[in-house]
Structure 1
Amino acid sequence: MVGYDPRAQKLPLRAQEAALAGSAAGMVTRAVISPLDVIKIRFQLQIESVSSTTPGGKYWGLLQAARCIRTEEGLAAFWKGHVPAQLLSICYGAVQFTTFEFLTKAVHDTTPFDSQTSGVHFLCGGLAACSATVTCQPLDTLRTRFAAQGEPKLYKNLTDGVRTMWRSEGVLTFYRGLSPVLIAVFPYAGMQFFFYNVFKRLLAPPPSAGKSRESLRSIVCGSAAGMISKTVTYPLDLFKKRLQVGGFEEARIQFGQVRRYRGLADCVAQISREEGVRGFFKGLSPSLLKAALSTGLTFFCYELFLNAFRDLKDLNGRAAAR
C-alpha cells in the first residue's frame, strides 16, 4: 500500500526515499507513454466545427493520427517535448508522493482517522497533486508547446523555448491554464489514490501469493483508477491544453484552425458553441490509454522502488544488529 501505514512491519521511509521513488516512477512511466501523450495533445488542440459537414481536423482516429505523425514528422515526433516532459514527471512524482506520504503520516499523528482508509487517500492525494501542480506548471506548459508544434519547429530546444516565451510573452505565460488544472487536479488525483486503495483492498491476494501476483494487482488497480479518474475530469484537461498554447498560433496553423481565448470561461464558451459537447472530450481515447498505462505503471514502479528501499533498510538493520 502507498501512504503511511502504522501497521507496516518494515521500517518507515524518509522523505528523500519517497521523493526518489516518486521521481523514478515518473521517469519510467513518461518514457513509455510519451507517444500517446503527443497524440492526445494533437487531438485536444485541433478545431472542428460542430456545424460543418466535412471533417475539419487533421486527425480523426488514433491509428490515423499515429500514421500521419510518423509519415510527416518521423518517429522522433512521438517524443517531442520529451525533455521538459521528463523533467515534469521527475519533479511531479517527487513532490506528489513525498507530500502524500507526509500528509498521510500527519493524519495518523494528529487525527483519529486511519491513514490507510480510502477517504483519507482521496483528500491527501488531491492536496499532494495540487502542490506538485503549482511547483511543476512551467514544465507542463513547455511540454505542451513542444508536443504541439509541427515542422519547422518554432522552438529549437528547451533553452530556446524558455528564452523565447520569457521575452515575447512574459513570465506569466508559464502558468497559462493553471486555473482549470487546479480545479481538475484535486478530484483527479484524489480519485486515483481513492480507487487505487479501494481496488487493492477488493483484490487483496491470499497470503501465499507471490510477488508477481502482487505486481500484477498494482498495475491492474492503478490502470482502473486512472481510467475512471481521467474520464470524470477530462474536459478540464482539454481546457488547460487550449489555454497553454495561447500566443502560439504560428506553430499551430498547419494543423488547421486556431483560436484565441481570453480565459477559462471564454474557452469553455467557444468550444461549446463551435464544437459542441463532443468538443470537450476530444482525444479521450488516447488519453484513456495513456491514463491506464501511466497510472498503472506509476503506482507499480512507486511501490516497487519503495519495497526495494524498505528491503535494503531491513537488510542493513539486521546486519548492524549482528
Structure 2
Amino acid sequence: MSAVQVARLKDEGTKQQVVVAGAVAGLVSRFCIAPLDVVKIRLQLQPHSLSDPLSCDGIKGPIYKGAFRTLTTIARQEGIRALWKGNIPAELMYVCYGGIQFTAYRSFTQAQALLPWRPPPSVESFISGACAGAAATSVTYPLDLLRTRFAAQGPERVYRGLLHSVQDITRHEGPRGFFRGLSAAIGQIVPYMGLFFTSYELLHQRIGGTNLPFGSGDATAGVFASVFAKTAVFPLDLVRKRLQVQGPTRTRYIHTNIPEYRGVIRGLIMIWQREGIRGWYRGLTVSLVKAAPASAVTMWTYERVLKSLITSDKNDEMWEIYTGYDDEDYDD
C-alpha cells in the first residue's frame, strides 16, 4: 500500500462516523478484557517483593503470584462478579476514549496535511497518535482513576457506587483528587500511542486490509503494535496505578500496605529501591496478554464498523438518487 493510499485510509469517513466507530470499538474491547484488567491492576498495586519472603510478613491483604492464580483467587474469594469491578466507569471511559482518540487522530493527521512541509508517514503517525492519546487521556482521566479504585477494592467496599465515589473524592480530596497520577499517564500515553500508531501503520501497509482472510490483518497489526508499545512504557503505567490510589483511602484497598508516593520520579525510585527492577514490570505479562487482544478487537471492530457506516451511507445516497429518478419519471 502506497503512502497516498495510507493517507486516503486515514481520511475515510465523516467525523460522526469516526466517533461512532471509535466508541463502539472501545465498548466491545473493554467488555472482552475486563477480567484481565482487574488482574493487572491487582498485581500492579501489590507493593511487596515476592522474591523476598520477609517483605511479605505482616501483610493483611492477599499475596498474588501469577496472572492465572490471581484470576482464580479473585473469583474464589470475591466471586465471579469481582472480575468486572470498576466496569461501569471503565466502559464509560473506553467509549469516550475511543471516540476522542480516533477523532483526534484523524484531525491531527489532516492538519499535518495542510503544512507547507508534510512529515514522513511514520513521523506523521507518531505525532498524530501521541497528540490523540494525550487529548483522550486528559479528558477521560477521572474515569480511569475511578476504574482503578473500584478494581482495587476487596470484599470491604471503599465506595458504595459510582455516585458515592464521586461525592467522596470531591469532599475529601477536591477536584485535584480525580487527576492523581495524570502526569504519569501523559508521560506514558504520548510515547505509547505514538509508537502504537506508527508501528500499526507500518504493519497495516504490509499485512492489513484484504491480504489476510476476514480482516485478520488489521487485528494482527494491532497485536504486534500494542505489544511493542506497551513494553516500552510499562513502568510509567505501573506508577500511575499506584498514584491513583493515594489519598485518605490508600490503606483501605485490597492491598493495605501500598506506600505513599509523591510524584512520578520519586515513585519510580521508591519502587526500584524496595522491589528492584522487577517491581517496575509487575503485571507486565497479563498486561501484554490483555493489551494484545484488546488492541486487536479495537482495531478490528473500528475498521469493520467504519466500513459498515460508510457503506450504509453510500447505499442511502444511491437509494435517494434512485428514488429521485423514479419520482421524476412518475411525474412525467
- Shorter-chain TM-score above 0.5: yes
Find 1:179's aligned residue among 180, 183, 186. Answer: 183
> How far apart, CA to CA, are the structure 1 residues paired with 2:186 and 2:7?
33
Count of residue correspondences: 315
Partner of 1:230 in structure 2?
Answer: 230
TM superposition shift of 1:320: 2.8
Q: Does 1:198 align with 2:199?
A: no
> How far apart, CA to CA, are the structure 2 residues paired with 1:8 and 1:49?
50
Q: Does 1:144 align with 2:148?
A: yes
Aligned residues of 1:95 and 1:131 also touching (Cα < 8 A): yes
Which residue identity is paired with 1:21? A
Q: Does 1:161 align with 2:165?
A: yes
TM superposition shift of 1:205: 6.3
Partner of 1:250 in structure 2?
Answer: 251
Q: Does 1:121 align with 2:125?
A: yes
Aligned residues of 2:104 and 2:132 also touching (Cα < 8 A): yes
Partner of 1:26 in structure 2?
Answer: 26
SS at match of 2:219: helix
Q: Could you give the per-residue CA deviations for residues 206-237 of structure 1, whole angstroms, max 9, x where no partner exists? A: 7xx5xx72511111110111111000000000
Q: Could you give the per-residue CA deviations for residues 56-90 of structure 1, whole angstroms, max 9, x where no partner exists? A: 37101111101110111100011000000001001
Partner of 2:285 in structure 1?
Answer: 285
Q: Does 1:86 align with 2:87?
A: no
TM superposition shift of 1:251: 2.3
Aligned residues of 2:208 and 2:216 also touching (Cα < 8 A): no
Which residue identity is paired with 1:150? G
Q: Could you give the per-residue CA deviations for residues 74-129 of structure 1, whole angstroms, max 9, x where no partner exists? A: 000110000000010011111111111111112223344378x2321111011001
Structure whose alpha-carbon radius of gyration is higher: 2
Partner of 1:17 in structure 2?
Answer: 17
Q: 1:51 to 1:196 in 2, by over 3 A?
A: closer
Q: Could you give the per-residue CA deviations for residues 146-170 of structure 1, whole angstroms, max 9, x where no partner exists? A: 0111112111110011111111111
Aligned residues of 1:205 and 1:214 also touching (Cα < 8 A): no
Aligned residues of 1:10 and 1:310 also touching (Cα < 8 A): no
Q: 1:312 to 1:250 in 2, by over 3 A?
A: same
TM superposition shift of 1:250: 3.2
Partner of 2:320 in structure 1?
Answer: 320
TM superposition shift of 1:196: 0.8
> How far apart, CA to CA, are the structure 2 residues paired with 1:60 and 1:268?
22
Aligned residues of 1:47 and 1:256 also touching (Cα < 8 A): no
Structure 1: gaps spanning 5 or more residues: none
Q: % of aligned pairs identical?
A: 35
Moved more, 173-182 or 309-318: 309-318
Q: Does 1:308 align with 2:308?
A: yes
Aligned residues of 1:121 and 1:194 also touching (Cα < 8 A): yes
> How far apart, CA to CA, are the structure 1 residues paired with 2:108 and 2:199?
18
TM superposition shift of 1:10: 12
TM superposition shift of 1:55: 7.0
TM superposition shift of 1:308: 0.7
Q: Does 1:37 align with 2:57?
A: no
Structure 2: gaps spanning 5 or more residues: 57-61, 323-332
Aligned residues of 2:251 and 2:258 also touching (Cα < 8 A): no
Aligned residues of 2:38 and 2:83 also touching (Cα < 8 A): yes
Q: 1:72 to 1:55 in 2, by over 3 A?
A: farther
> How far apart, CA to CA, are the structure 1 residues paired with 2:258 and 2:233?
24
Q: 1:316 to 1:5 in 2, by over 3 A?
A: farther
Q: 1:11 to 1:150 in 2, by over 3 A?
A: closer
Which residue identity is paired with 1:233? V
Q: Does 1:108 align with 2:113?
A: yes
TM superposition shift of 1:203: 1.8
Q: 1:53 to 1:12 in 2, by over 3 A?
A: closer
TM superposition shift of 1:256: 5.2
> How far apart, CA to CA, are the structure 1 residues paired with 2:308 and 2:275?
49
- 4+ runs deviating over 4 angstroms: 3-12
> How far apart, CA to CA, are the structure 1 residues paired with 2:220 and 2:179?
34
Q: 1:261 to 1:112 in 2, by over 3 A?
A: same
Q: Could you give the per-residue CA deviations for residues 279-320 of structure 1, whole angstroms, max 9, x where no partner exists? A: 000000110011101111111111111101111122122223
> How far apart, CA to CA, are the structure 1 residues paired with 2:26 and 2:209?
26
Find 1:133's aligned residue among 137, 149, 152. Answer: 137
TM-score, with normalisation over the residues of structure 2? 0.88
CA-based RMSD of the aligned residues comes to: 2.4
TM-score, with normalisation over the residues of structure 1? 0.91
> How far apart, CA to CA, are the structure 2 residues paired with 1:201 and 1:59?
41
TM superposition shift of 1:188: 0.2
Q: 1:59 to 1:119 in 2, by over 3 A?
A: same
